[in-house]
Structure 1
Amino acid sequence: MLVDSSLGFRVQSVAVRGQLYCGDKPAANTLVQLYDEDDGPDPDDMLDKVYTSEDGSFELKGDTMELTNIDPEIRIYHDCAMHLPLCKRNGSLEFPTNTSILALIRQHG
């Protein structure tokens, strides 16, 4: 007997835009990625990625097919406040899907 595993799965979408700062200066050319964070053996789904513009602004959007509600997360790879920026630091920010967000994120070392 074959069972259709797609039953109950639904397409879910998310979008976020914002502006990144390093101290009081725009964080230009900073990699920002949008993920759906998953638990267990299911790997996280990258939905979109972009580098910030000269003024630090970004806009991400994506969709994925999931059985349960998605858990969107922004991952930021930056060299803010690093004396020797040989590699990028990363940080993440989770946000609820039922909230409209215009994110103004200030990065501090």
Structure 2
Amino acid sequence: MQSVAVSGKLICNGQPAAGVKLKLYEKEFILDSLLASGSTDQFGTFRLTGYRREISTIDPKLNIYHTCNYGGLCYKKVGITIPDSYISRGKTPAKTYDIGTLNLANKYNGMTTDCLN
């Protein structure tokens, strides 16, 4: 059993990005496995934790789905890989990966559009 936790704050044009959809996944070869999901609070902050039984080391990533400065029908998706040093044994994470404050108005490498989140 392995676990992971991630936290941070999301803003859009200097204001808290409340209600932004977040999903914590374990990257797989064919279809990623959902570990946890949630959304930011009124201040744009969040914390997600998840765990999974896996023989090899899990490969967690956080997906952020937002509409900051975007008027399309779908969402902009930002993916953040969580370093292996933040993976813990057991169901309870020993430490939390803090992504800091992320401005969703910026463009990020690997940003895509997602309609099926």
Query: Which of residues 26, 51, 56 in structure 2 aligns to 1:63?
Result: 51
Aligned to 2:73: 86
Count matched residues.
96
Aligned partners of 2:46, 2:19: CA distance in 1, in Å? 10
When the two chains are superposed, the root-mean-square deviation of aligned CA atoms in Å is 1.4
Query: Which of residues 8, 16, 36 in structure 2 aligns to 1:18?
Result: 8
- Give the alignment's TM-score, normalised by structure 1: 0.80
Unmatched tracts of structure 2, length 5 or more: 87-95, 108-117
Aligned partners of 1:20, 1:97: CA distance in 2, in Å? 23
Aligned partners of 1:38, 1:67: CA distance in 2, in Å? 13
Q: Secondary structure at the match of 1:54?
A: coil
Q: What percentage of residue pairs aligned between the two structures are identical?
A: 32
Query: Which of residues 95, 102, 106 in structure 1 aligns to 2:103?
Result: 106
Aligned to 1:3: none
Aligned to 1:37: 27
Cα pair 1:14 1:97 within 8 Å, conserved: no
Aligned partners of 2:13, 2:63: CA distance in 1, in Å? 18
Aligned partners of 2:79, 2:34: CA distance in 1, in Å? 13
Q: Larger Rg: 1 or 2? A: 1
Unmatched tracts of structure 1, length 5 or more: 1-10
Give the letter for the 2:98 counterpart: L
- Give the alignment's TM-score, normalised by structure 2: 0.75
Aligned partners of 1:67, 1:12: CA distance in 2, in Å? 9
Q: Secondary structure at the match of 1:66?
A: coil
